Structure 1
């Protein structure tokens, strides 16, 4: 071992045994060699002589770099020596035992030279390569590697290449077509024939090359009477890999881009249709051959898709010609008809095999055929009339879809042979979540196909679903997956069904749904069946509203309330049942009003569930993850709160009806609220749960806070079903119970001020009580706001308070003035403590666009999040000022002490003049307009209006950049600015125009003509005309073309255009 070999071995060392300094010196030594233009000589000398694969790899890698970087600059004799050496190495491959990675690297180097010299200086390359094939398998292997490298490094356009490389790819393919590709294709045939039985792995490599080249060579080079029969004979070999390689090549041949009529001729000439048809009864793969099964499925899908596309293209060509008024001669029409009929006939022949593939139990097989089925059904939707074979195909497809959509047995997924299939065992077992997600995703595609078939043949689809349902009703031995898929198919019928079909008495779908509600369904304890059944009941709730359906109400509601629904042992099922029950109650609420006995029964049945939900909140902040399998039909995001609380919402809907006896209603509501209020009391500091002879631990405090949150949310949900008029006027005793709840809840922010989730839940509670109790809440606002607006509140806290204040102002208007006189100054101080004068009021630093993609860690990330919260607070603050101004409460702001008022006005002006969001600017401008409207004109106010509002906001704010005049939101802002300018002129008169012309416009570099136009428009034009003029000036200042067609505007612009640029 000499120093060179040592250096290579040291540089490749990964064990850590080599000193880092020594390794660095070795790498430096090798880098010096690489920089030498003659480094290739060392490589060609040491590659064959060294016994170390690391040295051989370094030599090949360095030689490749030299060829790519310096080959064209080498003298002819050096290039010839490099080529000759490489070809000599190839010749020696029959005896050399090189690892595959060295063979690949050698192939890449040769292709790098081919890329430069073929066909000009090395036109014989491919024939030279073909001449070596007779020397044995090692040369055939290198042939395959070189042909693969040619495709990957030069020809293939599947990766993005520079334009020069695209041109090079086209030139190489053209040259190969002219000189050698026919001989290469003949070699493929010979190699497959010679090696398929003695060396299947090598044959797989040959076929992998063929697969790469089929897309751009003459199809006759492979689709001929020699190669294709050979492939079909090899397709029956025992080698799974070889069979798969054959199938891949045939798939490429079938998928080759061609005109439709030649494509049909190709498919018929291949003779592949009869072979594929045999797969209907005898699949060409075993159940444990998933990869091979997927390859055969892709071939079948490609074949079917190509037939369908040929049919569509021929059909569309005729239709397109007729659409533009061109006649189609009889011969062309006959040829088109013949082609379409041939495609349809071949598809009909293939359909049994297609549906057998759809039903395949082999993983990943059935999903491959689904896109074709959807395309086929969509094509039939555009067909004028359906033939009998088409109808048979559609009916058979429905059967296949039902079979494929059926959940596999849980035992198969869980590997537990003791699992029941009738539901009892399955209820306790959860399918592997990844398997469920995959199956649900596949069902989505399958049901899309099914719904499209329903649109084509509705009556037959209804009959099919009816037969599926009849097959499970009264069958105690029915498997859960058969029951589930039958109900799911009924559910799918309801999506987009016509109104007439949904009627319970005359509609086919409505009758099926009613029938489902009238009978006992097997396997309802199984979680998947339970969810499907409740989803179906909810979808067809309108059936329950019909006269015939009302008799089914007790049965249906019993499913929701019993062990199959809310009481189901599976948490995902019970949670989903709570949500669906709430939705169902909203639908049938009116029907329940006349049945107090049933309502009483429902409320009684719910008592234990309500108690359990209230006292057993989910851990953490209340976020809950529902297993995927319990949402087979309904896509929804995870709720921020416990979805079981929808049950309380349903109870509120049931109780909030005037038809219920007043005393009973009061008793029910009291029985609901008292445990919840006690739960709040006992879990706040000072209550028994929080302090029981000492201070509660952190875990106990968290648990107590969750219980308080759960109780507050439960009360909030109950109140959603109670009309305000009912609790405040008709039956005020109900309102008194809610007032008591409000009193209890007031302690929450005072006793647990630092618990943000609990604070947010309390504010949500207040929002709801405002809507329900109205003015009765007025006395509770002062202490509530005092508790919520404490020193140290952050941006999120203040946003929540401001949103609450906005609701109160909109709801109570002038009645809120006494409260606002005290609360508004406190709010302003807290806001400006968070948004000081040095805050970036333009919002440029903290808009979503400015922070997207930023990845920070630790304190930097926390600081960025804090800034985002403050930026959101700024926008919310402007909305507060807007709400004040537009609800007759701007006098409250004006009455604020001057330092605080000045700070608020400064924030408003800076936002109106500079914020990057036009919508935010518009909010500020509207507030300013309202303030100016109510402002008494004095020397000081006139100066403020001219300088800050007109100058800074209306003129400088528009023309100092930051806005796109073409944007729709900017256009609405400009209208408000124009209205504000008109209002300012009313207040200040020509003094305003003098100030703008003397001090503001010259500072912007405006030409005198522009100053005159502004004065003219402000005096004489209406707001819309002024807005249009402002937009045109903004566009011209930004270098954008002005699209202004009005004659008057054109005349006004002429003078300014003559002066050149209006704004420098």
Structure 2
């Protein structure tokens, strides 16, 4: 029988739609005919020829057959049919989707149909549960389309404006015609279903909370509604929804006096009902909602205080502040609740309260006590739970760490209001805990170290005093750091405590400048089983970074321990491929920090030149010795997993050498240290890997970085290695390889200039072919990633052209064949004119200026002059005249400034010849009057560059207006 209904239902619906079209405009007669057909269908449901259709089937089947003028009428059919259905007969998402369609229909037909549709909905549904469910979901869907910020609306500017105007019109119309009746219906629904159908009552409360933001608050904030909502606060199944509804009422924008009166009246009733005496064992879900409500109430009062203060209403401001402060005791109870979600909800009010105190000229003792109470709650809640999983952090652990960040913001605000209180409180916790740290839980010890760590950011600059070598001048902070170092707490057997210890001592590295005698103790901790050799991999990894920072920040004090540190970390710098499941103490990424630290110790240590070269050689020698055999293994390997592991090891070896070079700021420091030969040996060992076809991407990326570093550190000793390296990098000549090589070429020509002209001349055709080949590739209209890739190709190309011209290598371009040279020149003009990319346009105009300065003088070739007058000068006018050239955009303005410089460059080289061309030939072709053409030429000739830039912008603004 079900299949029969499915077979005949849609034809009957289509027939119904056809009859509706035949009826014509909606008249009383037409409406009567439709109702008769509805009753026939209803009777057929009882003949068992058709099973009763669900409401959404009924409505959605006729939807495709009808035009908009009839859609709203057939919505009524849906409403009539729904009276005999149970709301739970369909999933919620089906009901929501059906009401969303009806809401869109409501908005489309408003104001002609909208109010009458809502009236008919109210009239037809009555108080049937299914009808009320439909009605409430329809109202939520309408609100979602009008004001809900979670709903994704159009991003197009003109459509967004139209949508905003439509929404304003609908809201104004509903306020005028419908809202009072809607409010009465809500009251009726709440009274009817509060005891018999909690789901509908909660849904109605959700509707009230949604609409209260844009309807008259007096319709809701009155005796009838508030007393009803407060009654719901005592009903277990309703009180969470009642809290949310009251939260929306409290959050409604109002005048400060009205808001204060509303919040205070609500507060008095809640207090009288005992809600301010909630216990810790109260239902957590309810407390989560109630804490949000209470926080909003307190914040509303503080906002009223601020607005009263701006208005000069001192008595009202004092009243609002006292009312907000009265909420603090219950708020503090919730802030210290064992449930972090409940506590988090109260952070907003506490933060605003502290911010308010900060604005007061003086904080009385009572309010200082408030700050201390907040601080104590923060300290309590910062502590890790015993069951926190440090080895495998799950969702709960991540949520707690996020919660800790919010508490940190509160701590920062406490520091702004009462820095001395915070400093002394932390001092008390640190000294008290570290005195007996062996008997304390790990959470207490970690908390003491964490609070000390947070002081570095929380306290205002200079408040805690400076670190001094004179004990009589030592600050409280210096005393705490000394206590931490001397306490031996770094031996505590928990990874959280160990990590926090090292984080703290590195944050206060300046302490060790004042008291360097404590450096050995910290270094030993870093180097033994507490740090780099800790059983926990996370601790080892973090300590490798922190030790690098510690050494670099205390370079002078560390110098006596250079060779000892290098000796201690030697076994941790072992270079071995990670194949056959071999796991080293530190990952390759962690070893990078140790290699960088080692390079820094060698470069900055007070050692003899020969000793520095010897130490660096012993550091990098194992890499250069192991690299060729490892490369041979990769070339012979056939298993892809092993290939990847070998390639990773090769890339790490190159990266290790690169990291050691970061300590050398220039080639002078490398030469002075006597270490140049060590890096030349690395070049000899590493560069053959460029020819390896296997796993090429990761290895080549590491080698490119290494070559960039060598261009900084080495001088002419690098040149013999560059031809083979560039030839290998560009051997395939594809676009990707060329793009990867261009930054290296730019750095090369910037450093060596004419010394590398033969080399750059040799690779230039390959670069040109790869770039232009990539630019010719077709791009689909909506393929954004391909479009961005082409943009990056153009920018890289123009950067290379500019580097050649800037460093005196323009002859590489001009010496190309006539066809290639013309192609290059044309591509630059094309970049200035055709692509809406102001960054590239700016570079193109700069390139054109340099070309004109180089080749556009009195002995310029006729071919180039022809190019200047036919292509360059027109580009300076046509590009800014394009619609995509936005003169109000900052980057485009910079491009226009370069355009002005290009015209100035042509004038400086060609003088009256350019003015004659503009006045007689080109400007008239743009329909520019002789007077304006004369004015333009006069400004170009007489004004300085700055004035001409300003004039050119105004010229194009007038032309485009």
Per the shorter chain, which TM-score range?
0.7 to 0.9
Structure 1 residues 401 and 944 mapped into 2: Cα distance closer, same or farther (>3 Å)?
Answer: farther
Alignment partner of 1:520 out of 482, 485, 488 = 488
- Residues 740 and 34 from structure 1, CA distance in 2 versus in 1: closer, same or farther, beyond 3 angstroms? same
Partner residue in 2 for 1:478: 440
In the TM superposition, what is the alpha-carbon distance from 1:165 to its structure 2 partner?
A: 6.1
In 1, Cα distance between the equivalents of 2:678 and 2:82?
Answer: 95
Q: How many Å separate the matches in 1 of 2:855 and 2:550?
A: 54
- Find the aligned partners of 1:649 and 1:997 in 2 and give their Cα distance: 63
Tell me, in whole angstroms, the C-alpha distance in 2 between the residues paired with 1:103 and 1:702: 53
Per-residue deviation at 1:611? 1.5
Decide whether the 8 Å contact of 2:856 with 2:864 is kept in 1.
Answer: no
State the partner residue of 2:540: 574
Corresponding residue for 1:304?
298
> How many Å separate the matches in 1 of 2:894 and 2:920?
28
Structure 1 residues 987 and 348, CA, compared in 2 at 3 Å: closer, same or farther? closer
Q: What secondary structure sits across from 1:1033 in the alignment?
A: helix
When the two chains are superposed, the root-mean-square deviation of aligned CA atoms in Å is 4.4
| Residues 1:146 and 2:129 are matched in the alignment | no
> Using a 3 Å threshold, how does the CA distance of structure 1 residues 145 and 361 change in structure 2: closer, same or farther?
farther
- Structure 1 residue 392: Cα displacement: 1.9
CA distance in 1, matches of 2:170, 2:896: 54
CA distance in 2 between counterparts of 1:317 and 1:618 reads 75
SS of 2:384's equivalent in the other structure is coil
Give 1:812's match in structure 2, choosing from 742, 747, 752: 752
Aligned to 1:41: 36
Give a deviation string over 1:937-977, Cα, whole Å, max 9, x none.
677x3533432124411234422544334444444444544
CA gap 1:796/1:141 in 2 versus in 1, 3 angstroms: closer
Q: Distance in 1 between matches of 2:767 and 2:647?
A: 28
Match of 1:545 among 493, 513, 518: 513
Q: Which residue of 1 is the match for residue 953 of structure 2? A: 1031
* Superimposed CA distance per residue, residues 354-391 of structure 1 (whole angstroms, 9 cap, x where no aligned partner): 12222333363222222222222222221222123322
- Equivalent positions of 1:948-967 (< 5 A) are 948-959=867-878, 961-962=881-882, 963-967=885-889
8 Å CA contact retained: 1:7, 1:30: no
2:574 to 595, 601, 611: 611
The alpha carbon displacement at 1:502 in A equals 5.1
Residue of structure 1 in register with 2:471 after alignment: none
**1:632 alignment partner in structure 2:** none
Q: Is the 8 A contact 2:548 2:597 kept in 1?
A: yes
The structural deviation recorded for 1:439 is: 2.4
Cα offset, 1:717, TM superposition: 0.7
Counterpart of 1:832 in structure 2 is 768
Identify the match of residue 295 of structure 1 among 289, 299, 306: 289
State how 1:973-988 maps to structure 2 within 5 Å. 973-988=895-910
**Among candidates 262, 267, 271, match of residue 266 of structure 1:** 262
Change in Cα spacing, 1:491 to 1:617, as seen in structure 2 (3 Å) is farther
Partner of 2:589: 642
CA contact (8 A) 2:336 2:381 kept: yes
Partner of 1:601: 564
Q: Which shows bigger deviation, 929-938 or 64-73?
A: 64-73
466, 472, 482: which one pairs with 1:503?
466
CA shift for structure 1 position 564: 3.5
- State how far apart, in whole Å, the 1-side matches of 2:850 and 2:487 are: 65
Correspondence for 2:801: 881
Separation in structure 2 between the aligned mates of residue 667 and residue 700 of structure 1, nearest angstrom: 34
Distance 1:890 1:103 in 2: 71
Kept in 2, the 8 Å contact 1:273–1:346? The answer is no
Query: Quick one: distance in 2 between partners of 1:366 and 1:1003?
Result: 73
Q: How does 1:25-36 map to 2 (within 5 A)?
A: 27=10, 30-36=13-19
Deviations 1:760-784 (A, max 9, x none): 2112111112222223323322332
- Give 1 or 2: higher helix fraction: 2
SS in 1 for 2:489: coil
Alignment of 1:614-629 (within 5 A): 615-616=577-578
Distance 1:217 1:906, change over 3 A: closer
Counterpart residue number, 1:586: 552
Partner of 2:528: 562
Matched, 1:158 2:147: yes
* Residue 713 (str. 1) matches residue 655 (str. 2): yes
> 1:872 aligned to 792, 816, 820, which one?
792
Distance 1:831 1:737, change over 3 A: closer
Partner Cα separation in structure 1 for residue 680 and residue 616 of structure 2: 13
Would you say the 8 A contact 1:617–1:706 is kept in 2?
no
Instruction: Say which of 623, 627, 634 aligns to 1:676.
Output: 623
Structure 1 stretches lacking a partner, 5+ long: 12-25, 134-138, 319-332, 415-425, 620-624, 627-640, 856-860, 1040-1064
SS for the counterpart of 2:433 is: coil
Distance 1:902 1:217 in 2: 69
**Contact 1:681–1:744 at 8 Å: present in 2 too?**
yes
Alpha-carbon separation, structure 2, partners of 1:878 and 1:150: 57
Could you tell me how far 1:229 is from its partner in structure 2? Answer: 5.9
Alpha-carbon contact 2:99-2:138 (below 8 Å) kept: no
Corresponding residue SS for 1:285: coil
Give 1:450 deviation, angstroms: 1.1
Partner in structure 2 of residue 1052 of structure 1: none
When residues 436 and 896 of structure 1 are mapped into structure 2, their CA distance, relative to the original with a 3 A threshold, is same
1:529 is the counterpart of 2:448: no
- Cα distance, 1:396 vs structure 2: 1.6
Looking at structure 1, the residues matched to 818 and 145 of structure 2 have their Cα atoms a distance apart, in angstroms, of: 74
Deviations 1:827-850 (A, max 9, x none): 22112222449956xx9x98xxx9
Deviations 1:127-148 (A, max 9, x none): 998xx76xxxxx4674565356
* Cα pair 1:913 1:953 within 8 Å, conserved: no
Secondary structure of 1:711's counterpart equals helix
* Residue 303 (structure 2) pairs with residue 350 (structure 1): no
**Residues 30, 183 of structure 1: alpha-carbon distance in 2 compared, 3 angstrom cutoff:** closer
Confirm or deny: 8 A CA contact 1:975 1:1023 kept in the other structure. Answer: no
Question: How many angstroms apart in 1 are the aligned matches of 2:661 and 2:498?
Answer: 29
Aligned residues: 913
Higher deviation after alignment, 203-212 or 389-398: 203-212
Residue number in structure 2 paired with 1:771: 712
Structure 1: distance between partners of 2:707 and 2:13:
75
* Aligned-partner Cα distance in 2 for 1:764–1:983: 37
**Structure 2: distance between partners of 1:1016 and 1:191:** 85
Aligned 8 A contact 2:643 2:694 in 1: no
The CA distance in 1 between the partners of 2:921 and 2:444, in whole Å, is 83
Tell me if structure 2 keeps the 8 A contact 1:544–1:553. yes
Between the aligned partners of 2:590 and 2:11, the Cα distance in structure 1 is: 65
Does the 8 Å contact 1:679/1:707 carry over to 2? no
- What is the TM-score with the length of structure 2 in the denominator? 0.83
CA contact (8 A) 1:398 1:450 kept: yes
Give the 5 Å matches for 1:112-127: none
* Aligned twin of 2:721: 780
The aligned residue for residue 1059 of structure 1 is none
Contact 1:141 1:202 (C-alpha < 8 Å) held by counterparts: no
- Select 1:757's aligned residue among 698, 705, 710: 698
Cα distance between partner residues in 1 of 2:341 and 2:410: 18
* Aligned-partner Cα distance in 2 for 1:802–1:914: 23
Structure 1 residue 518, shift from structure 2 partner: 3.1
- Contact 1:617–1:707 at 8 Å: present in 2 too? no
**Residue 926 (structure 2) aligned to one of 1004, 1018, 1022:** 1004
